C-alpha cells in the first residue's frame, strides 16, 4: 500500500501547516488509536515530545484524538525518542508516540509512532493508518472516553535504564566531557546520566525556549562542541540532536567522530567480547567505504540498507544482527534498544575509552575513511525535489557523473525523506575529483528548478 502522509521517519512538516496541524494530529490519534485497540481491556498510549513550541499544540490534539476513540493517555513530557520506545514496552502500552522533527529547525515538527514492542511501525501499518485518517473513525460513547494522566517519574526511569547499558562496576571518574544537548529532549536526562556515572560534565545547549532547538548546536552543528572541547581541555565532546536518537563526537583535539567510527569501535569491541551477532554490522548506503574495508579486515561484514534508521532496524531484526546505524549518528544497540539512542551509544564509546585508557584521538579514530563529499540542494518543497529527480535531463546527468568516476568511486543521489532536499554524495580515492563531480551534479540539479 502506498503512503502519502508518512515519510521515512513518521509524519513531518512545517508546524501549523498541513500535515503538521492540530486537525491532522487529531485524526492521526483517532486512526492509530482505533487500529491498536485489539481486545476488551483498557488500551493505553504513551506520548513524549521534544522542546519545540509546537509540541504543546500537537500533544493536546493527539491526546484528544486518542481519548475520543477510548484510549487512555500517559503523558511523559520532554524525553528522547529512545525513551519513548523503551517506556512503550515497559509500561505495556499498546502504542507509543514521539512528537519531534529530530534534527530539523524548530519551525518543523513530526509524529513518530511505535508499536507495543517498541519498534517503529512498518510501511504497511502506516499505510493502513493513513486509510483510516482519510476514511474517518467512529467515536466511542461518552462513558468509554479515554483518561489522561502524567507519568511523573518518566525521566528517572529512562536515566536508570541508560545507566544500566554501561558496564557494571565501571565509572567515568577523571573524565571531563563536554555535552551538547541541542536545547532538545535530552537537556535534563543526558547531563544527569554522565554526572551520576562520575564524569565532570560541561553542559551546552541545555536551556530550551521553544525556538532554539538545534539552532547552531547539537549533532548537526558540531563546530561549537569542538571549540568548547579545546577551550575546556576536555577528554571528549558528545553532541546529541533534538530528540537524542543520534550522536556525534569530538576528540580532545576537537576533531569530529561520526557514526561510522562509532559503529567500527563498538563492532570491534563487541566482536572481541563475543557480544556481536550476525557476523557484522548493518549500515546504510551513506556509510564510508573505509568502514566496510575495516570490518572485512577483521573477518566481519557490512550489510547496507537504504537511508533511514527504520530500515537499519528492520534488517537487524530480519537477519539477526544486534548492531547497526548510520553515518549521521543513529546507532542502534539491539541488545538494549529498539531504535537509535545517542546517549546509550555514547556510553558504549566511553566504556571503550575507559577500558583502553588512551586519548580519544587514538581510541576513537578506528579506521581511515575514504574521501567523501556530500552536498545538499534545497528546493521549495519535497514534491518539487521529487519531480526534479524524475526529469530525463537529471537522469542523464547522473549517468554522466558515474561515467566520470569510471569505477574509481561511487555516487549516491537521493531525495531526503524528511526535508525538501536532494542529497548528492560521492566517494573515492581522489578527493579533488569527487568534489568536482559533486559540484557539477549539484549545478545540474539547481538549473532544473523553475
Helix (H, G, I), strand (E, B) or coil at 305: strand
* Catalytic residue numbers, as ranges: 102
CA distance 121 to 10: 9
In a domain, 267, yes or no: yes
The residue from 222, 255, 288 where one domain ends is 255
179 contacts: CB under 8 Å, gap ≥ 6: 190, 191, 194, 201, 202, 203, 204, 237, 238, 239, 240
- DSSP secondary structure of 200-234: EEEEES----SS-TTTT-STT-THHHHHHHHHHT-
Say if residue 391 is in the same domain as residue 440.
Answer: yes
In the predicted structure, residue 429 carries a pLDDT above the cut 90: no
Arithmetic mean of pLDDT over the chain = 94
- Residue 408: the pLDDT is 76
Say if residue 123 is in the same domain as residue 197.
Answer: no
307 pLDDT tier (thresholds 50, 70, 90): confident
Say if residue 27 is in the same domain as residue 129.
Answer: yes
Q: What is the mean pLDDT of residues 331-352?
A: 96
Say if residue 403 is in the same domain as residue 335.
Answer: no
What CATH number corresponds to the domain at position 238? 3.40.120.10
Q: Report how many domains make up the chain.
A: 4
CA 163 to chain CA centroid, Å, is 20
CA distance 352 to 347: 9
The position carrying cell 546527468 is 397
Of 132-146, 192-206, 259-273, 404-418, the range with the lowest mean pLDDT is 404-418
Helix (H, G, I), strand (E, B) or coil at 238: strand
Question: Dihedral angle at the C-alpha atoms of 258, 259, 262, 267, nearest 10 degrees?
Answer: -150
- Residue 2: the pLDDT is 54
In a domain, 334, yes or no: yes
What confidence tens digit (pLDDT) does each residue in 407-427 have? 778 899 988 877 888 999 999
In a domain, 296, yes or no: yes
- Residue 66: the pLDDT is 98
Say if residue 32 is in the same domain as residue 119.
Answer: yes
Supply the pTM of this predicted model: 0.89
Say if residue 307 is in the same domain as residue 439.
Answer: no
- Residue 150: the pLDDT is 97
What's the DSSP call for residue 173? T
Q: What is the mean pLDDT of residues 120-143?
A: 94
CA distance 71 to 63: 9
In a domain, 1, yes or no: no
CA distance 263 to 79: 24
Provide φ and ψ at 48, rounded to 5°. -120, 175
What confidence tens digit (pLDDT) does each residue in 375-403 have? 999 998 888 888 888 888 889 989 999 88
- Residue 383: the pLDDT is 83
Helix (H, G, I), strand (E, B) or coil at 194: helix
Helix (H, G, I), strand (E, B) or coil at 87: helix
- Residue 3: the pLDDT is 64
In the predicted structure, residue 347 carries a pLDDT above the cut 80: yes
What confidence tens digit (pLDDT) does each residue in 79-120 have? 999 999 999 999 999 999 999 999 999 999 999 999 999 999
Q: What is the mean pLDDT of residues 137-141?
A: 95
What confidence tens digit (pLDDT) does each residue in 51-80 have? 999 999 999 999 999 999 999 999 999 999
- Residue 447: the pLDDT is 87
CA distance 281 to 62: 37
- Residue 450: the pLDDT is 60
The parent domain of residue 307 ranges over: 259-363
354 pLDDT tier (thresholds 50, 70, 90): very high
Contacts of residues 386-390 at CB distance under 8 Å and 24 or more positions apart, as own/partner, are 386/415, 388/422, 388/445, 388/448, 388/449, 389/413, 389/415, 389/422
Say if residue 342 is in the same domain as residue 234.
Answer: no
What confidence tens digit (pLDDT) does each residue in 249-272 have? 999 999 999 999 999 999 999 999
251 contacts: CB under 8 Å, gap ≥ 6: 229, 236, 237, 257, 359, 360, 361, 364, 365
9 pLDDT tier (thresholds 50, 70, 90): confident
Say if residue 38 is in the same domain as residue 143.
Answer: yes
| CA distances from residue 278 to 287, 297, 322 in whole angstroms, order as listed | 18, 16, 7
Pairing of strands 108-114, 95-99: antiparallel
Q: What is the mean pLDDT of residues 229-241?
A: 98
- DSSP secondary structure of 103-137: TS-TTEEEEEEE-TTSSBPPHHHHHHHHHHHHH--
Amino acid at each position: 500500500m502506498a503512503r502519502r502522509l508518512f515519510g521515512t521517519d513518521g509524519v513531518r512538516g512545517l508546524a501549523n501547516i498541513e500535515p503538521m496541524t492540530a486537525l491532522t494530529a487529531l485524526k492521526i490519534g483517532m486512526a492509530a488509536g482505533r487500529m491498536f485497540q485489539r481486545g476488551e481491556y483498557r488500551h493505553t498510549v504513551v506520548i513524549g515530545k521534544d522542546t519545540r513550541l509546537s509540541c504543546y499544540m500537537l500533544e493536546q490534539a493527539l491526546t484528544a484524538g486518542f481519548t475520543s476513540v477510548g484510549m487512555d493517555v500517559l503523558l511523559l513530557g520532554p524525553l528522547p525518542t529512545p525513551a519513548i520506545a523503551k517506556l512503550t514496552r515497559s509500561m505495556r502500552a499498546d502504542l507509543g508516540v514521539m512528537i519531534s522533527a529530530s534534527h530539523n529547525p524548530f519551525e518543523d515538527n513530526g509524529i513518530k509512532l511505535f508499536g507495543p514492542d517498541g519498534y517503529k511501525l512498518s510501511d504497511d501499518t502506516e499505510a493502513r493508518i493513513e486509510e483510516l485518517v482519510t476514511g474517518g473513525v467512529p467515536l466511542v460513547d461518552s462513558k468509554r472516553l479515554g483518561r489522561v494522566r502524567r507519568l511523573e517519574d518518566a525521566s528517572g526511569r529512562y536515566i536508570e535504564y541508560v545507566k544500566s547499558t554501561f558496564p557494571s562496576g565501571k565509572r567515568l571518574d577523571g573524565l571531563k566531557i563536554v555535552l551538547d544537548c541541542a536545547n532538545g529532549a535530552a537537556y535534563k536526562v543526558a547531563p544527569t546520566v554522565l554526572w551520576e556515572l562520575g564524569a565532570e560534565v560541561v553542559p551546552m545547549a541545555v536551556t530550551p525556549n521553544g525556538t532554539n532547538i538545534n539552532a547552531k548546536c547539537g549533532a548537526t552543528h558540531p563546530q561549537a562542541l569542538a571549540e568548547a572541547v579545546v577551550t575546556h581541555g576536555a577528554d571528549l565532546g558528545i553532541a546529541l540532536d533534538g530528540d537524542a536518537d543520534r550522536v556525534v563526537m569530538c576528540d580532545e583535539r576537537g576533531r569530529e567522530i561520526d557514526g561510522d567510527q562509532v559503529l567500527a569501535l563498538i563492532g570491534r569491541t563487541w566482536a572481541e567480547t563475543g557480544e556481536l551477532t550476525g557476523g557484522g554490522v548493518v549500515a546504510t548506503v551513506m556509510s564510508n567505504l573505509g568502514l566496510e574495508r575495516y570490518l572485512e579486515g577483521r573477518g566481519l561484514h557490512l550489510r547496507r540498507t537504504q537511508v533511514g534508521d527504520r530500515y537499519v532496524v528492520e534488517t537487524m531484526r530480519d537477519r539477526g544482527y544486534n548492531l547497526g546505524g548510520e553515518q549521521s549518528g543513529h546507532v542502534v544497540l539491539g541488545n538494549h534498544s529498539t531504535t537509535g539512542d545517542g546517549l546509550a551509544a555514547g556510553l558504549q564509546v566511553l566504556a571503550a575509552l575507559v577500558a583502553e585508557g588512551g586519548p580519544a584521538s587514538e581510541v576513537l579514530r578506528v579506521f581511515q575513511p575514504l574521501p567523501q563529499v556530500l552536498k545538499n540542494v534545497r528546493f521549495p518543497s519535497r514534491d518539487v525535489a521529487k519531480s526534479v529527480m524524475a526529469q530525463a535531463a537529471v537522469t542523464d546527468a547522473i549517468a554522466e557523473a558515474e561515467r566520470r568516476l569510471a569505477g574509481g568511486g561511487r555516487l549516491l543521489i537521493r531525495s531526503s525523506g524528511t526535508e525538501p532536499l536532494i542529497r548528492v554524495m560521492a566517494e573515492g580515492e581522489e578527493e579533488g575529483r569527487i568534489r568536482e563531480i559533486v559540484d557539477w551534479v549539484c549545478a545540474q540539479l539547481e538549473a532544473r528548478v523553475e
